[in-house]
Amino acid sequence: MSLFKNDSDIYEEMEGKRSSHTFQRVVAIGVFVALGFAVGNFYASVNKDEVTANEPIPVVTTSSVSNSSALSIADIAEMTADSVVEISTSVQATSYFYGNYTATGNGSGVIISSDGYIVTNNHVTSGANKVTVTLRNGKEYEATLIGNDAKTDIAILKIDATGLTAAKLGDSASLRVGETAVVIGNPLGKLGGTVTNGIISALEREITLDGKAMNLIQTNAAINPGNSGGGLFNDKGELVGIVVAKSSGLDVEGLGFAIPVNDVKSVINDIIDLGYVSNRPFLGVEFASSNTSSYQSNYGFFFGFGGQMMYQYGAEVGNVVEGSAAEKAGIQARDHIISIDNVAVSSGSDVSSIVSEHQIGDTIEIGIIRDNKTMTVKATLGEYKGE
């Protein structure tokens, strides 16, 4: 046997080794790949279980928080402008210098039914002898005052017309600060149908108007005299507020306010159905124009003749409503109400505020001054039936 292999034998052996090595490599690679897939699937299944268990955190995008039904300012104006009207009023007045004369006023209103019911502010129509409503198309109607509510500053008018464009009432409780706000009204009493826009600047802003505390919507949409009673609309074109006031002054800009429509829906319905707001306690006194009233006392320091001193105190009664709780309690015109249930009062708004916190049928103690004498009377509150 030769110790040496011939060339062909060596070649075949080398080829055999190569084949064996190649086979081993293929097997190794296959095992490695299989192992990789197995490991990958293991981690994937683990991660999948973790995601399923913990729930993925959603990505907040603009589309997820924005209202897809939001309209453009132009769309809102086109949708709602026909529902906003101009209001002009005439009041017969008397002046020492001018005698009898007619004073005029202006405001805005919003149509709330196709057959002619219109909501506006009480202060727009208060004391008016004649109220004229002008539609966007220029048609004029003499309006009838159906009823009003000084507490919420709301009045309802009716015109003899049909087929009108009524505003759709929205939900003021769903408003968010920063949302689009559109105001339509009659600024300066000459620019009916004016559209201004801004945002909802604040909600439930407590503002005192004419001695009454009110929770109002604040907006930076431009509001001017004549806008009172006009509409505040949201980005869907829904009526969410009745414009009531603006803050004015050299350093004041972009501060307008509206009554939330949710606060007055029941008031509107009551006035239309009954002519007044139901379930309101009523004392039955009307106060003199001055917030505080004077009475004379023979006590204290001398002031003028007769040793009388003039005090400013209490709320002077200007008139007592016939058949009211006040009349039954013996309250008279020119009496000065100085307290209710031992709480001192100094104005008619103080009296109204305390009375509104009671229920119909409650009995209250009223401290009064009459002919320089202090006395106490008791009154059982009735129900307000309108003016």
The CATH number of the domain holding residue 310 is: 2.30.42.10
Query: In whole angstroms, how far apart are CA 35 and each of 31, 39, 160?
Result: 6, 6, 87
* Backbone Cα Rg of the chain: 39
pLDDT the model gives residue 252 = 56
**Number of independent structural domains in the chain:** 4
DSSP string, 51-64: HHHH-PPPPP-HHH
Residues, the chain: 387
Query: Is there a catalytic annotation at residue 235?
Result: no
Question: Does residue 276 sit within a domain?
Answer: no
Question: Does residue 67 sit within a domain?
Answer: no
Measure CA of the first residue to CA of the last residue in the chain; give whole Å: 139
Domain termination site, one of 229, 263, 297: 263
**Are 224 and 147 members of one domain?**
no
DSSP 169: B
Q: Which residue shows structure tokens 């309101």?
A: 280
Question: Does residue 217 sit within a domain?
Answer: yes
Q: What are phi and psi of 183, to 5 degrees?
A: -115, 130
Q: Which residues of the chain have pLDDT under 50?
A: 1-24, 26-27, 29, 31-33, 37-40, 42-66, 250, 290-311
**Are 248 and 319 members of one domain?**
no
**Are 179 and 237 members of one domain?**
yes
CA distance 189 to 254: 20
**Are 102 and 46 members of one domain?**
no
pLDDT the model gives residue 377 = 96
Residues contacting 197, CB < 8 A, separation 6+: 73, 180, 181, 182, 183, 221
**Are 257 and 321 members of one domain?**
no
**Are 150 and 80 members of one domain?**
yes
Question: Does residue 167 sit within a domain?
Answer: no
**Are 86 and 128 members of one domain?**
yes
Indicate which CATH number applies to the domain containing 194. 2.40.10.10
Element (H, E) at 192: none
Query: Is there a catalytic annotation at residue 21?
Result: no
Question: Does residue 64 sit within a domain?
Answer: no
Alpha-helical (H) ranges within the chain are 7-54, 62-65, 73-80, 122-125, 261-274, 325-329, 348-356
Question: Does residue 222 sit within a domain?
Answer: yes
**Are 99 and 40 members of one domain?**
no
Give this prediction's pTM: 0.69
Query: Is there a catalytic annotation at residue 9?
Result: no
pLDDT the model gives residue 113 = 96
**Are 36 and 90 members of one domain?**
no
**Are 291 and 375 members of one domain?**
yes
Question: Does residue 58 sit within a domain?
Answer: no
CA distance 116 to 384: 26
Range of the domain at 301: 281-383
**Are 253 and 295 members of one domain?**
no
Domain termination site, one of 263, 298, 333: 263
Query: In whole angstroms, how far apart are CA 160 and each of 110, 111, 142, 256, 294?
Result: 15, 12, 8, 32, 47
Q: Which residue shows structure tokens 């959603």?
A: 58
Q: Of residues 83, 108, 149, 153, which has the active-site annotation?
A: 153
Domain termination site, one of 221, 236, 263: 263
Q: Of residues 123, 172, 201, 352, which has the active-site annotation?
A: 123
Q: Of residues 83, 108, 172, 228, which has the active-site annotation?
A: 228
| Burial environment of residue 326 by CB neighbours within 10 A (0 to 12, 13 to 18, 19 or more) | buried
**Type of residue numbered 101:** Y
User: Measured on CA atoms in the order 17, 21, 26, 30, is the torsion positive or negative?
Assistant: positive
**Are 297 and 239 members of one domain?**
no
The string over 185-200, giving b where at least 16 C-beta atoms fall within 10 Å of a residue's C-beta and e elsewhere, is bbbebeebbbbbbbbb
Question: Does residue 218 sit within a domain?
Answer: yes
Element (H, E) at 298: none
